[in-house]
């Protein structure tokens, strides 16, 4: 399993955040996506939020036209987003929870509590050929529910692990990492593909990248922040090297 390449999805939302701060056209998220692609990203991730605070509908349209690597559209399970996804049919659709007042996606999706509705919600997306994933906490009940409704992919929320790492709460960090590891194995045993992401940085990416069941990491904020200092290509390349080293057990 470890021989399989770990894919890197680069989330370009915050290029759009900076653009929107001035309401103009720069920096252009499509240009960032093309640079990330050139630097070795395996996919581009973009979250179309209900309030359009970063990525907009026209960004999605332009990304679909411009990039040659897969687009992973993150979105809430609403009728509006379902229509947009069905219009574009991106390679992948990741269903995320969304609250207007949150600064970023704070927790995982409540699949267990919303099983019926989500089952109906994802059916047309799957029918249209989109790879549907659910962004969930490393929790057995959520994984079981995702499996019951036929989700082929789950993305484990790494936020709690990354926060504990950044704050130096090492016992908590290790416990969160253990949860991610064991739940990645649990989901993999159900035949689901496992992705992970949220809050990952150069400092904390490697233990997650080393989990053999994890096939893809989605990383955004840190890479875009780092790009201010080193350029986006350098940031993506460095992340890629760290991921590959971890995967190879170095």
Q: Give catalytic residues, as residue numbers.
A: 47, 74, 198
Size of the site for ligand PXP (CB under 6 A): 19
Q: Which is nearer to ligand PXP, 103 or 250 (CB)?
A: 103
Segments in 103-220 forming alpha helices (H): 115-127, 140-148, 159-166, 170-189, 205-209
Residue 81 as a binder of ligand PXP (CB under 6 A): the answer is no
Subset of 192-221 contacting ligand PXP (CB under 6 A): 197-200, 218-221
77 and 120 Cβ atoms separated by less than 8 Å: no
CB of 70 to ligand PXP, least distance (A): 14
Query: If phi over 0 gives left and psi between -120 and 50 gives alpha, with beta otherwise, what is residue 28?
Result: beta
Subset of 100-159 contacting ligand PXP (CB under 6 A): 104-105, 135, 155
CB of 14 to ligand PXP, least distance (A): 7
CB of 219 to ligand PXP, least distance (A): 4
Subset of 35-54 contacting ligand PXP (CB under 6 A): 47
Nearest CA to 155 out of 207, 206, 93 is that of 93
> Which whole-number Å values give the CA distances from 52 to 55, 83, 116, 123, in the listed order?
6, 16, 27, 25
User: Which two three-digit tokens encode residue 123?
Assistant: 């059916």
User: Which two three-digit tokens encode residue 185?
Assistant: 């194995």
In the complex, the residues that contact ligand PXP under the rule CB under 6 A are 11, 13, 47, 74, 94, 96, 104-105, 135, 155, 197-200, 218-222
């Amino acid at each position: 399993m470890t021989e399989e390449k770990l894919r890197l999805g680069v989330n370009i939302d915050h290029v759009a955040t900076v653009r929107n701060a001035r309401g103009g056209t720069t920096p252009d998220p499509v240009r960032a996506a093309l640079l990330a692609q050139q630097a070795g990203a395996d996919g581009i991730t973009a979250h179309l939020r209900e309030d359009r605070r970063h990525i907009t509908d026209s960004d999605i349209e332009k990304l679909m036209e411009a990039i040659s690597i897969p687009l992973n559209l993150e979105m809430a399970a609403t009728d509006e987003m379902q229509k947009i996804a069905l219009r574009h049919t991106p390679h992948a659709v990741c269903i995320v929870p969304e609250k207007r007042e949150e600064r970023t996606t704070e927790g995982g999706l409540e699949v267990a509590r919303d099983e019926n509705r989500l089952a109906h919600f994802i059916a047309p997306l799957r029918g249209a050929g989109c790879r549907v994933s659910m962004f969930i906490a490393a929790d057995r009940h959520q994984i079981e529910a995702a499996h019951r409704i036929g989700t082929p992919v789950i993305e484990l929320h790494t936020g709690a692990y990354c926060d504990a790492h950044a704050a130096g709460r090492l016992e908590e960090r290790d416990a969160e990492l253990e949860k991610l590891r064991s739940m990645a194995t649990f989901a993999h045993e159900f035949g689901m593909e496992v992705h992970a992401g949220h809050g990952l940085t150069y400092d904390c990416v490697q233990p997650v990248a080393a989990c053999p069941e994890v096939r893809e990491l989605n990383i955004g904020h840190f890479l875009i922040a780092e790009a201010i200092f080193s350029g986006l290509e350098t940031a993506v390349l460095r992340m890629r090297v760290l991921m590959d080293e971890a995967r190879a057990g170095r």
